[in-house]
Amino acid sequence: MSRDLDIRKSASINPDSISLPLVYINPHFGYSINSIRRHIDNSPQVLMNSNSFPSDISEYYWIQEGELGKDAWYAVGCLQGNIYFLYKAYAHTSFDKDGYMDLWVSYNFSDIIHYAMDTSLYNKYFTDTSIN
């Protein structure tokens, strides 16, 4: 299946809807940047400061709010330094007990679309966004 590689954005974005899992990105809670980062094959290695995410988010393109025990939280956007990201978080009851997080970063937005998103997630992102 062909995927649109243009940056697509939601018409309205509420950063508060992704704030719950982001508060837990702290080694104290077991979520250091190094523990949640996922490798993207054939993508240039992105060097990040261990305390940079999420404070270096410069723009959100899309956010899907999750619900404990039901749906994952997702965010796609850009970090300072023109680094693109896909963030995913899920917890059954609480992030400090039974949650997990994944963070993919790349200098190429196309890598996020092609390699970090599965078909279901890409379809949701595509449906919820448009080219601005």
Q: What is the mean pLDDT of residues 81-107?
A: 96
Domain assignment of residue 43, given as a range: 15-131
Query: Where does 50-115 have alpha helices with state H?
Result: 95-98, 109-111
Distance CA 82, CA 58 (A): 9
Instruction: Classify residue 8: in a domain, yes or no.
Output: no
Structural domain tally of the chain?
1
pLDDT in tens, 1-28: 689 999 999 999 999 999 999 999 998 8
Distance CA 125, CA 79 (A): 18
The rounded mean pLDDT for the chain is: 94
Instruction: Classify residue 10: in a domain, yes or no.
Output: no
Four-CA torsion 115, 120, 123, 124, nearest 10 degrees: -110
